[in-house]
A and B are shown apart, each in its own frame.
Chain A
Amino acid sequence: MNHLGDNEIQEYLDGNLPDRAADMETHLRGCKSCREKVKQYELLYSGLDTDRIPPLQTDFAVKVAAAAGRQLALERRSRLRIILASVAGIICLLASSIYFLNIPRLFDVFRKLSFDNYLDSAFVSKYKGLIAGSGVNVSLVLFVLLAIIAVWIIDYLVRRHSRRPVSFLV
C-alpha cells in the first residue's frame, strides 16, 4: 500500500472511510511517516475542536430581546396608521383612476353603485380643477404608484416562496 495522502488521512479521521479503516490501520502499524502525519492531524483536530472563541456579553440575549420588544411595540403603534393610510391611498387611487383615465366601464360600475352623484359633484370638480391647475401629470403619478405597488407585491411573493431571509427593497 502506498503512503497515505492528506485527504485520505482527513477522511479517515473524519470517520468517512469505515470500509477502508482496517487496511489503513494495518498500513499505519508498519509505516512510521504515515503514523507521524496522522498524529499531526490528530493534534490539529484536537486544537480545532477545542478552540475557545471569546463569548458575547453575558446579558447579550436580554439586550437583544429588549430591543426586539421595543421594535414590536413601535410596529404595533404604526400598524393602524399604515392601514388607515393604505385604505385612504387605495380609495384615492381608484377614484383618480376612474376620473382621470376616463374608463367607461368603471364609470358604469360606480353608477350602478349609486356613486354617480358624487362623480358630478362640485367637490370633485373643484378637486379636478386643482390638480389640472398644478400641472401634475396625473397619469404618470398613477403609473408610478401602481409600479411601486407591483414591485412590493413581487418582493413579498419572492420572499415568501424562495425563503430569502431579507427583502431586496431594504
Chain B
Amino acid sequence: MKETEAVIEKILAGDSKAFELLVEDHQQLVNHIAYRMIPDADDREDICQDIFMRVFQNLSTFRHGSKLSTWIARIAYNRCIDYVGKRKIVVTADPLDGPAQNISDPASLPDRNLESAGTADLLREEIKALPGHFRTIITLYHLDDMSYADIGEVMTLPEGTVKSYLFRARRLLRERLLAKYTQEELLQ
C-alpha cells in the first residue's frame, strides 16, 4: 500500500515515468474490461487512453481504503458503460431472466460455424453472446483474479449478486457449448 502511495505522490508531483509505469501495470486490466464491452478495436484503444487520462486527472481524489487496481477498474467499467449507452450498443439480455429458452434446440443458437476453430475460439464466441455484465464478471474473476468483493466494488453490485451472476454465466456457457459440440470436440 505504501508503494502505491509513493507512486501516486510521484505522479502528482509531475513524474511522467511513474505514470507510464502505472499504465503499464494496469493496461491489461483496463483492456480486458474494454474488450468485453466495446466491439470496435479502434474505439477500444481510444477509450482505454481516455480511461487512463481520467485516472490521471482524478488521482488526487483516490482514497487508499480500496485497491488502486479496483479504483482504476471502476473508472474503466463506468467509462465503457457510458460509451455503450451513448452508442446504444445492444447488450445481450440475460437469458435466465426471460422465458425459458430451449438451449438444446439448434435453431435457438448462433450458426454452428466454428468446427475448425480451437476450443478457445469456440469459448470466446460463446462469451460474446453472454449479457454484458456476465462477460465483465467472468473476465475479472478468471483473468484478473479479482474477488467477489472487488468485482462488486467495480460494478457497484452486492457480493452475492456477483457470485450469482458468475455461476449463471458459467452454467450458460457450459450448456451452450454442450448443446453445440460434443465433449470430445471441445477437448480437441
- Which residues of A are at the interface with B, using a C-beta cutoff of 8 A? 6-7, 10, 36, 39-41, 43-45, 47-57, 60-69, 71-72, 159-160, 163-166
Contacts and interface: CB of A to CB of B under 8 A. Distances in A.
B28 interface: yes
Contact of B17 (A56, A65, A71, A166): A65
B187 A43 contact: yes
Given A43-B187, A165-B75, A51 B53 contact: no
A84 B65 CA distance: 36
B105 interface: no
A44 B61 contact: no
Main secondary structure of the interface of B (DSSP, over half): helix
B167 A7 contact: yes
Nearest to B119: A47
A50 B57 CA distance: 33
Interface string B22-64: 0110011001100100000100010011001110111001110
Interface in B133-188: 138-139, 142-143, 166-167, 170-171, 173-174, 177-178, 183, 186-187
B87 interface: no
A60 B16 contact: no
B78 interface: yes
B17 to A, nearest CB: 7
Contacts of A66: 16
Contact of A48 (B23, B63, B142): B142
A67 B41 CA distance: 20
Interface residues of B, number: 52
B123 A61 contact: no
B19 interface: yes
Interface of B: 14, 16-17, 19-21, 23-24, 27-28, 31-32, 35, 41, 45, 48-49, 52-54, 56-58, 61-63, 65-66, 71, 74-75, 78, 119-120, 123-124, 127, 138-139, 142-143, 166-167, 170-171, 173-174, 177-178, 183, 186-187
24 contacts: A7-B167, A10-B171, A39-B183, A43-B119, A44-B177, A45-B142, A45-B170, A50-B120, A51-B143, A53-B31, A53-B35, A55-B28, A61-B23, A61-B27, A62-B20, A65-B19, A67-B49, A68-B16, A72-B16, A160-B61, A163-B65, A163-B66, A165-B54, A166-B54
A92 to B, nearest CB: 29
A8 to B, nearest CB: 10
CB-CB nearest 5 A-B residue pairs: A65-B20, A61-B23, A48-B142, A47-B123, A61-B24
